[in-house]
Structure 1
Amino acid sequence: MIPTKEEMYAALEERHGKELQKKLNDASVAVCGLGGLGSNIAVALARAGVGRLHILDFDKVDISNLNRQQYFAEQLGMSKTDALYDTLKRIAPYCDIRKDCIKLNEDNIPELLADADIIVEAFDKAEQKAMLVNCVLENMPEKYLVSGSGMAGIAPSNMITTKRVTKRFYICGDGVSDVEDGMGLVSSRVLICAGHQAHAVIRIIAGEFDI
């Protein structure tokens, strides 16, 4: 039996406290890219009780995704937006989730992400990352932006950090590793970086800012 909205909110409030949970409930976060980073970030934010999530990707679930992304074998072939939407609704049935199966570009980013308080960059490819980061910084300077850079291989976990680059721009990762350099993407290390990004979002919502 699914708990009521009031019961679920009360459970989160007990964990986080009234003040923080209200801030989380009132927040709006866009997650751009729903692969190893984005799917795990979205799950963490849904579990934390973020009130509005906007998930965006144009890809479909592939068997190669199952080692590190929040998808299941029976979801193969589904759009990632549809598959993750179903999972998030099972976790947080009262979360206001908007999904867009679309490829982001410089022309559609300002309109698609206009309603988000915080934008999360979670793309796989360097050129996509740079495009989104540059577009947001240049055209939407009032937005908070949390990006990921460097989480490949099996290097030590503590190499992954969160850095505040500017007042509203954060980068999480080791800053050096690349999927082309060796082993590729391992679920545990990708999850660590995703956790850094999700936690950076939660700290921003809470009004706690890294130096």
Structure 2
Amino acid sequence: MKIGIAGAGGIGSNVAVHLVRTGASCLKIADFDFIEESNLNRQFYFHHQIGTSKVETLKKNLLDINPKGNFQVENLKLTRENMTDFFQECDIVVEAFDESKYKTMLIEEIYPLGKLIVSASGIAHWDICNIKIKKVMPNLFVVGDFEKGIENYNTYSHKVSIAAAMMAGIVLEKGGFYEK
């Protein structure tokens, strides 16, 4: 089972870590950004990694957890033109973008392929009481509070981590990783 992750920031890096720590070993991740100090409050990176490529650094960090893992990464900005090809061989795709227009783009491009998509909406603010999972369509699950977005609120590690853990749980359950 190959799992694709669109974005290696707060959600993407933490989903990847949760997946690898629970046994997933085949990930394909795309992001074009570099680590900044402001990312360290919620992303799976360290101070000495500031200025490095998120995907290349995430791969190194994941290999520190599982040296035998198959972690394909590409320093790439995903677009309508390249997204389908990038995730073609993936069984499940995790949407981990910051902006809603890119979230929508991923769903519009990937959903028709019949792949399971796990997305996030409303992961900002410190309040964790209303985080839930919504099955929006047969192959689309969204995690968050559906209200407090990054446009109006700060992000905090505990809420991002909880949402990422819930997203990883969906991937593991629907991907058949859990023992029955």
Q: What's the TM-score, normalizing by structure 2?
A: 0.95
Q: 2:143 aligns with which of 169, 172, 187?
A: 172
What is the CA distance between 1:128 and its match in structure 2? 1.2
Match in the other structure for 2:93: 119
* Superposition map of 1:1-211 within 5 A: 27-138=1-112, 140=113, 142-155=114-127, 157-182=128-153, 184-206=154-176
| 1:38 aligned partner, one-letter code | G
Rounded Cα–Cα distance in structure 1 between residues aligned with 2:25 and 2:125:
34
Structure 1 contact 49–95 (Cα < 8 Å) conserved? no
Conserved? CA contact 2:56–2:73, under 8 Å: yes
- Aligned equivalents of 1:118 and 1:112: distance in 2? 12
Supply the distance in 2 between the matched residues of 1:59 and 1:83 (Cα, whole angstroms): 11
Q: Is the 8 A contact 2:98 2:150 kept in 1?
A: no
Separation in 1, partners of 2:74, 2:135:
28
- 1:180 Cα deviation (Å)? 2.6
Q: State the alpha-carbon separation in 1 of the partners of residues 123 and 80 from structure 2.
A: 26
Measure how far apart 1:126 and its partner are. Answer: 1.2
Cα deviation, residue 207, structure 1: 7.8
Q: Higher relative contact order at CA 8 Å, sep ≥6: structure 1 or structure 2?
A: 2
Q: Point out where structure 1 has 5 or more consecutive residues left out of the alignment.
A: 1-26
Moved over 2 A (4+): none
CA distance in 2, matches of 1:63, 1:128: 24
Computing the radius of gyration over CA atoms, which structure comes out larger, 1 or 2? Answer: 1
Shift of 1:86: 0.4
Which amino acid is 1:143 matched to?
K
The letter for the 2-side match of 1:46 is V
Q: Which runs of 5+ in 2 are unaligned?
A: none
Partner SS for 1:181: coil
Shift of 1:153: 0.5
Letter in 1 for 2:44: Q
Corresponding residue SS for 1:133: helix
Tell me, in whole angstroms, the C-alpha distance in 2 between the residues paired with 1:207 and 1:81.
Answer: 24
- Normalized per residue, the structure richer in helix is 1
TM (norm. structure 1) is: 0.81
Provide the secondary structure at the position in 2 that maps to 1:83. helix
Contact 1:44-1:198 at 8 Å conserved across structures: yes
What per-residue deviation string (whole Å, max 9, x for no partner) do you get for residues 134-159 of structure 1? 11123x1x21100011011112x231
AA of the residue aligned to 2:141: Y
User: For this pair of structures, how many residues does the alignment match?
Assistant: 178
Root-mean-square deviation (CA, aligned residues, Å) is 1.3
